[in-house]
Amino acid sequence: MKEKVRCNSAKYTILLTGFKKYDNAYQARDAFQIYYNKNDLSNSWSDAALRGEFNTLQLFNKKGEPLVRIPYEYGDKGKVLEPFTRSYPQYGIGGELQLIPKNWQNRIEIKYDNLDLLDNPNTDLILREN
């Protein structure tokens, strides 16, 4: 069951963002190709269960310069830009537009209008829609 959390004054660090709204965590992991193993959470990249809505102007500084960028393939370690997820097909179908902080050392704090904790169903029981 989804639980809505209002966070009008809370700030959280952003690591990866996209623009599509997903109904459950599995769909987000599939689109962003995020490794997840419910039996090995310490090695999982994320459960992708937190969905936030925020004013995207926060992704720019006061001069209008972007604070985010398109990552390079293979976790920002490759040589080719990857605007749409595709490097890890073993973890999901991909195809989602992605942005990351321009500088990993200077994390971006985002003030969210609201946050949702997404349902995180058993992924073994879900078939991908093609």
Joined together, the tokens standing for residue 73 give 């393939």
pLDDT-derived band at 92, boundaries 50, 70, 90: very high
Q: What integer pLDDT is reported at residue 119 of this predicted model?
A: 82
Which among 114, 119, 95, 94 is positioned nearest to 35, based on CA atoms? 94
Q: Evaluate whether 31 touches 18 at the Cβ level (below 8 Å).
A: yes
Kind plus residue range of the DSSP H or E element containing 50: strand 50-54
Q: Evaluate whether 65 touches 79 at the Cβ level (below 8 Å).
A: no
Residues near 89 by beta carbon (within 8 Å), at least 6 away in sequence = 33
pLDDT above 60: residue 129: no
Which tens digit of pLDDT belongs to each residue from 25-74? 999 999 999 999 888 888 999 888 888 889 999 999 999 999 999 999 99
Q: Evaluate whether 3 touches 114 at the Cβ level (below 8 Å).
A: no
Q: What integer pLDDT is reported at residue 103 of this predicted model?
A: 83
How far is it, in rounded angstroms, from Cα 108 to Cα 54? Answer: 13
